[in-house]
A and B are shown apart, each in its own frame.
Chain A
Amino acid sequence: MKELVIVSGKGGTGKTSLTAAFSSLAGRHILCDADVDAADLHLLLAPEVSERHEFMGGGKAVIDPERCSRCGQCRDLCRFAAIEGEFSVDPIACEGCGVCVDLCPAGAIDFPIQKCGEWFVSDTRNGSMVHARLGIAEENSGKLVSCIRREARRLAEEQDLEIIITDGPPGIGCPVIAAIGGATALVLVVEPTVSGLHDMSRLVDLARHFRVPCLLCINKFDLNLEMTRRLEDEARERKMQLVGRVPFDPLFTEAMIAARTVIEYQQDSRIAVAVREIWHAIVASPAMNSYGIRTM
């Protein structure tokens, strides 16, 4: 089984549009939307939810004023400045460490487990999809990402499918770390801008850290040909395979408004042609065809 994770470092470079387009080309596969913070893949693939699960995170401290002796111990112990005024807990600041709960001399602090979000198994026109919604302002995004990737792998085994296509989150922090560990390969969707190059470079450092091979796809390459060349130079230097370039085209926005992938929207557009070539390059890439320790 192979898992391809589409990432970018910088947000808004076209990860989700390309993930959906790959899904139109991939044959039978499992889809996974690991951008749990701002998931958008469902807007293109109209999943019908067949299973809905609560995602439970850690606990949050709640002080019972009846039992509280107002000794101030919790305030002294809390390293997150979450104890307010005459002893209530600011739920947004509370890190869920439970130190106050365990050490309150009056035993006045409860620690109810919080629902941090939901995750779903759904049917789409391209097969099963696992996706999630992290509650607003919630923590544990990395845990939720790990949870849905695990579920995607389970489904792939159950349905005897060879490939999982995962839409990753932006950045290089907690959810990205959870999204790339153990993946077969990453597709980096990068635009030819100074920020695109800078953010890609940090993401490649992270991928090296986890020993996951990277494939580079340059989106909107014709917006700045000189920067595109610099991205290609960087790819060569860092031994990343360039799997293709996609021109800037309002067709991406039109397809999005029509809730279609760019492949479905106009089969023979220059975008569809470019994306098809990229998909073939990904499937044929050494990174996706090694039988080393990286295969799951």
Chain B
Amino acid sequence: MIISVASGKGGTGKTTVATNMALSMEGGCTLLDCDVEEPNVHLFLHPVIERRETVTTFIPAVDDSRCTWCRKCADICRFRAIAVVGQKVLVFPELCHSCGGCQVICPEQAIGEGLRELGVVEWGEGAGVPVVQGRIRVGEAMAPPLIRKVRAAAKSDGTVIIDAPPGTSCPVIAAMRGVDFVLLVTEPTPFGLHDLELAVGAVRLLDIPCGLVINRADMGDDRVRQYARREQLPVLLEIPFDRRIAETYSRGRMIVEELPEWKEKFRDLFRRIEERVEAAPKGRTEQ
């Protein structure tokens, strides 16, 4: 079973929920940090990295000796990543989406495989939890291919928990597609509600069952709960604002270790997700 922990709004507690649930689980699980722009799981679980792989993507490498400046490569490229100026081919690696069109279309086989580094994928284990994490290279814009690499790295049949990036655009979709359940972490504020509605829109587009965790549940108003009732979204856990929790988080410590009464609550959260996944109709979009 794969559970993606997501949210529209940032800073609602995705990493807190994902790491504490992973650490509480009796059956064990693999935790994937798919927030590759700002991965934070390692700050809490301190995994010892056993393996590291640099992830690259195709960019065109032009062999000037073969090129006839026919411009077919520039014509097929929708991303303006390759241009022909006089007798020179210019490649703009940061604009390239690695579709390979230029390479296929070139009549002279003048385009070879160049590489752009997207980032790294790391495998390790922290606090007894196997962790796979992605970290995008600073300056790299395209997160989805790296996120897909992190997901592909977890070929486990067991439980997988994904810490997703914030928002509702392509990186989030890459971290949610084909999972069995999306756990949306929100807070009961106007910003929390607005971004939750967007996130629910994305989850529904992908046709995945979902449920909510309301964090800092006592700071704000009742509109998130009203929305949840109206939309029949189950609230699976509420975490009140507690200065001890905020301080525990700020130091990079685990709530279930510092405040052990929370362990059972996170176990219960997982059980409630399990029940919902078992009850959900099968035949959803596969990854």
Interface residues, chain A, with chain B CB atoms under 8 Å away: 8-13, 16, 37-38, 40, 43, 58-59, 77, 79-80, 92, 95-99, 102-103, 134, 136-139, 141-142, 169-177, 191-195, 198-199, 202, 205-206, 209, 223-224, 227, 250, 253, 256-257, 259
Known contacts A99-B76, A172-B138, A177-B139; decide if A137 and B173 are in contact (CB<8 Å). Answer: yes
| A-B contacts, CB under 8 A, total | 178
A10 touches B38 (CB 8 A): yes
Expressed in whole angstroms, the Cα–Cα distance for A115 and B173 within the complex equals 18
Q: Of the candidates A37, A97, A134, A199, which one forms a contact with B38 in the assembled complex, judged by CB atoms under 8 Å apart?
A: A199
Q: Of the candidates B99, B198, B246, which one forms a contact with A223 in the assembled complex, judged by CB atoms under 8 Å apart?
A: B246
Residue of A nearest to B139 (CB): A209
Known contacts A92-B177, A137-B205; decide if A253 and B189 are in contact (CB<8 Å). Answer: yes
A177 touches B11 (CB 8 A): no
Q: Of the candidates B101, B140, B169, which one forms a contact with A137 in the assembled complex, judged by CB atoms under 8 Å apart?
A: B169
Expressed in whole angstroms, the Cα–Cα distance for A194 and B190 within the complex equals 26
Hey, which chain A residues are within 8 Å of B220, CB to CB?
A: 253, 257
Q: Is B255 an interface residue (CB 8 A)?
A: no
Interface residues, chain B, with chain A CB atoms under 8 Å away: 8-12, 15, 37-38, 40, 43-44, 58, 76, 78-79, 97-101, 104-105, 136, 138-143, 165-173, 177, 189-191, 194-195, 198, 201-202, 205-206, 219-221, 243, 246-247, 249-252
B97 touches A172 (CB 8 A): no
A192 touches B167 (CB 8 A): no
A174 touches B104 (CB 8 A): no
A102 touches B98 (CB 8 A): no
Known contacts A99-B104, A173-B140, A250-B219; decide if A11 and B37 are in contact (CB<8 Å). Answer: no
Residue of A nearest to B99 (CB): A97
Expressed in whole angstroms, the Cα–Cα distance for A16 and B9 within the complex equals 11
Known contacts A96-B78, A172-B38, A257-B221; decide if A38 and B167 are in contact (CB<8 Å). Answer: yes
Hey, which chain B residues are within 8 Å of A137, CB to CB?
A: 168-170, 172-173, 202, 205-206
Known contacts A136-B201, A224-B247, A253-B219; decide if A97 and B78 are in contact (CB<8 Å). Answer: yes
Supply 8 A–B pairs (Cβ within 8 Å), ascending by A. Answer: A12-B12, A38-B10, A79-B58, A194-B43, A195-B40, A199-B40, A206-B139, A256-B189
Q: Of the candidates B79, B173, B205, which one forms a contact with A97 in the assembled complex, judged by CB atoms under 8 Å apart?
A: B79
Expressed in whole angstroms, the Cα–Cα distance for A155 and B219 within the complex equals 38
A38 touches B9 (CB 8 A): yes
Hey, which chain B residues are within 8 Å of A191, CB to CB?
A: 250
Q: Of the candidates B9, B15, B172, B251, which one forms a contact with A40 in the assembled complex, judged by CB atoms under 8 Å apart?
A: B9
Hey, which chain A residues are within 8 Å of B252, CB to CB?
A: 193-195
A142 touches B141 (CB 8 A): yes
Residue of B nearest to A209 (CB): B139
Expressed in whole angstroms, the Cα–Cα distance for A194 and B45 within the complex equals 12
Tell me the smallest distance from the CB of A186 to a CB of chain B, in Å.
15
Chain B residues touching A, majority SS: loop
B97 touches A97 (CB 8 A): yes
Hey, which chain B residues are within 8 Å of A96, CB to CB?
A: 78
**Complex A-B, nearest 10 residue pairs according to Cβ-Cβ distance, in ascending order:** A11-B10, A12-B11, A97-B99, A194-B252, A171-B37, A99-B101, A37-B167, A174-B141, A224-B250, A193-B250
A10 touches B10 (CB 8 A): yes
B189 touches A97 (CB 8 A): no
B173 touches A10 (CB 8 A): no
Expressed in whole angstroms, the Cα–Cα distance for A137 and B173 within the complex equals 6
Tell me the smallest distance from the CB of A139 to a CB of chain B, in Å.
5
Hey, which chain B residues are within 8 Å of A8, CB to CB?
A: 10
Known contacts A137-B168, A138-B170; decide if A194 and B250 are in contact (CB<8 Å). Answer: yes
Known contacts A171-B38, A173-B37, A198-B38; decide if A227 and B10 are in contact (CB<8 Å). Answer: no
B250 touches A223 (CB 8 A): yes
Residue of A nearest to B141 (CB): A174
Which has the most chain B C-beta neighbours within 10 Å: A96, A97, A169? Answer: A97
Known contacts A137-B205, A223-B247, A253-B220; decide if A205 and B138 are in contact (CB<8 Å). Answer: yes
Expressed in whole angstroms, the Cα–Cα distance for A141 and B219 within the complex equals 31
Tell me the smallest distance from the CB of B234 to a CB of chain A, in Å.
21
Hey, which chain A residues are within 8 Å of B221, CB to CB?
A: 257
Tell me the smallest distance from the CB of B277 to a CB of chain A, in Å.
22
Tell me the smallest distance from the CB of B193 to a CB of chain A, in Å.
9
A95 touches B40 (CB 8 A): no
Which has the most chain A C-beta neighbours within 10 Å: B170, B202, B252? Answer: B170
Tell me the smallest distance from the CB of A210 to a CB of chain B, in Å.
9
Known contacts A38-B167, A173-B140, A174-B142; decide if A256 and B219 are in contact (CB<8 Å). Answer: no
Residue of B nearest to A102 (CB): B76
Tell me the smallest distance from the CB of B34 to a CB of chain A, in Å.
12
Hey, which chain A residues are within 8 Å of B168, CB to CB?
A: 37-38, 134, 136-137
A202 touches B138 (CB 8 A): yes
Which has the most chain A C-beta neighbours within 10 Å: B8, B165, B195? Answer: B195
Expressed in whole angstroms, the Cα–Cα distance for A181 and B98 within the complex equals 24
B170 touches A9 (CB 8 A): no
A136 touches B195 (CB 8 A): no
A174 touches B143 (CB 8 A): yes
A171 touches B165 (CB 8 A): yes
Please give 7 more A-B residue pairs, beta carbons under 8 A apart, in addition to A40-B195, A191-B250, A194-B251: A11-B12, A97-B79, A99-B104, A136-B202, A193-B251, A223-B247, A257-B221
